[in-house]
Structure 1
Amino acid sequence: MGLIVLILTAYFANCVLDIKWDGLRVQWNQNVTNPNYFVKFSRTEHQAVIRGFTKIGDCDLTAKWRGRRYIQDSDYTVILLFDIKGYIAGIQTAIPTTSTYPPLKLKPPFIDEGGRSVLTAYFTDPSKICTTGRTADEFAIEGTGSTLYIQDNIYPEASTRMPSSVDEARRTAPWTISKCLNYMGLHYYHNITSELECDSLFPVGLLYHKGELLGFAWLFMQYLPLKRYETVAKRFYPYVLTQVPKCFDEYDYFTSQHVYLIKNVEDVIC
């Protein structure tokens, strides 16, 4: 019996050590030690409540998305999604809807919610979030999640799975490689070329390190000076994009938000 316990203990210890996504952090800054950035967010509903998050939506199979939704201090730039068991299942961000943004071509992935437009990412199979959820053992083994899905249509269960590795991204048209930046990772963007029309910019970039997906970035062709967003000035466009679309010349800024599914962002060095 003692030997069996020892073997099982070693097995689960190795599982924990091998967790691919062991954190949830938001918002990049060039100073990785700045406490106002790379903010750590709760990965269980219980922790979120303790930290002062407020529920704004429950699991509902007729809703526009899946999961129990939580925000903190009325900040809609980070909306946490938890499954029916209370484990992290995804994340959303919401921006004010204007007459010109988001453009109709991007609705979806932007989905209307009153005066806001919402983007949604899932870290687990959307079809299970509000039905079975994850068990404690699954959360212990998988961590934040196992697969990244972006909701790019009005049916959450039909969300698109993102490439989990650089090798897969290379094989998956039209994802194209771009710049690698410290504390961000190697960026892949969706069909960005010099001829891209800005109202067709898919609002998601993927982040890789050592060949594996570590997170993603929301992208907005609009100046959004909101709490958890990052403003990129025109002079920096060539530093973050291998190919800068000509239409970017019309914009003095674009806005992004980096979301990390790992704990040790400081290890992401190019």
Structure 2
Amino acid sequence: DKSSSYKKENCFISIHHLVHYKCRTMKLLLTFSFLVSLGAVNAAEDWYSLRTTFSLLPLTGFWSQPRLEKEARSEGYTKISDCSDGESFPGSRYIPNYDHPNIVLIYDVNGYIAGIQSIVDQDAWDNGYVNFHEKSMYQPSTINGKEVFLTTAYFVDPQIICSTGRTRYQYKTQGTGYTLIFQNGEDISQKNLMEIPLIEEDLKESDFWNEHLCFINMGKHYFNLHYDPEESCGNLFPVQLIYEEGFLHGFVWQHFGTLPGDLWEHPPALAISRIIKDPPTCILDAIATVGLSTMHVYFKNYLSICD
């Protein structure tokens, strides 16, 4: 009858609509999943943080550093140079107001973070392991009236720091930066710049960097060490690279000597054996005598685990 036919037709329409609804839902879910995965890739590439100093206890390390020049000023940082000074290092440069400042933060002409320097106090120069005067990564300078050596890393192309700088939009989307470049010489001419791959896979064929060990809340380390206990410390590059899930996660300054200041880490021999595969004997000897000073610099969340 008509009533039965009407019910059957409505039932058919309802099932048809249900199938259609499920199809649309599936398409929406697939689209959403794609956007989430795309966002995850972008998140893996954006550097949304700038922290220094590993610690076994979170409240005694992983210090957040100001990424805006105005924040540095409000936190009491002292400007030591700017673009008008014609220094070997471009940018407005600030040191924290400590008795023993360990870092210099570099900002571009628009006040956005552009790089960082580590300060090696002159008390560490004659340690018998590295001749700082002969290493181009170490550049002499004077800070607070004291002679020091500086090592320098840029998070943007150093050529733009004193020219265009970054825009607000670029800072908001890129965060701390978009590259890692070390100044291995007295100025920022191209021959003195060492650019680091952002993707770990691109580092695999390097003759300079070798994969070492992963450590919780640090990441996977790369050194210019070749798994030889007899290797000389005189050739050790003052930087470690750290990767997490295939992407550059940050880096580590490393210097022989027990440098003063709260931002330095002084790893014991046991920790070194968990970070360096077949560590050179000279590093273990240095730890037992003059000491070793390191500083992790993070571009993202420091929380990480190892496989």
Amino acid at match of 1:25: R
Q: 1:127 pairs with 159, 179, 183, which one?
A: 159
Counterpart-to-counterpart distance in 2, 1:186 and 1:68: 32
Which of 107, 113, 118 is the equivalent residue of 2:135? Answer: 107
Q: Secondary structure at 1:164's aligned position in 2? A: coil
Task: Report the TM-score, using the length of structure 2 for normalisation.
Answer: 0.77
Deviations 1:17-48 (A, max 9, x none): 635200000000122x31x3100011110111
1:42 and 2:80 aligned: no
Correspondent of 2:104 among 59, 73, 79: 79
Conservation of the 8 A alpha-carbon contact between 1:225 and 1:231:
no
Which consecutive residues of structure 2, in runs of 5 or more, have no partner in the other structure? 1-34
Partner of 1:218: 253
Once residues 62 and 131 of structure 2 are traced to their aligned partners in structure 1, the CA distance between those partners, rounded to angstroms, is 29
Whole-angstrom distance in 2 between the partners of 1:67 and 1:210: 32
How far apart are 1:187 and its partner, in Å?
0.2
8 Å contact from structure 2 (residues 227, 277) kept in 1: no
The 5-angstrom pairing of residues 186-205 of structure 1 reads: 186-194=220-228, 195-205=230-240
Structure with greater strand share of residues: 1
Is the counterpart of residue 140 in structure 1 residue 172 in structure 2? yes
Asked if the contact 2:91–2:109 (Cα under 8 Å) also holds between the matched residues in 1, the reply is yes
- TM-score, normalising length: structure 1: 0.87
Write the letter of the residue equivalent to 2:108: D
CA distance in 2, matches of 1:197, 1:125: 33
The answer to whether the aligner puts 1:160 opposite 2:194 as a matched pair is yes
- How many residue pairs get aligned? The number is 255
Instruction: Give how far 1:190 is off.
Output: 1.7
Q: 1:180 aligned to 190, 214, 228, which one?
A: 214
Please list the CA deviations of residues 172-210 of structure 1 after superposition, one character each: whole Å capped at 9, or x if unmatched: 221000110011000001244423211221000001000
Q: 1:254 aligns with which of 292, 302, 306?
A: 292
Amino acid at match of 2:72: A
The CA distance in 2 between the partners of 1:57 and 1:15, in whole Å, is 38
**Of 202, 205, 229, the match for 2:264:** 229
Offset at residue 236 of structure 1 (A)? 3.1
Give the Cα–Cα distance (whole angstroms) in 1 for the partners of residues 161 and 233 of structure 2.
33
- After alignment, is 235-244 or 144-153 more displaced? 235-244
Decide which structure has the larger Cα Rg and report it: 2
Once residues 106 and 133 of structure 1 are traced to their aligned partners in structure 2, the CA distance between those partners, rounded to angstroms, is 32
Amino acid at match of 1:124: V
The answer for the alignment partner of 1:25 in structure 2 is: 51
Which range is displaced more, 175-184 or 160-169?
160-169
Q: Identity over the aligned pairs, expressed in percent?
A: 30
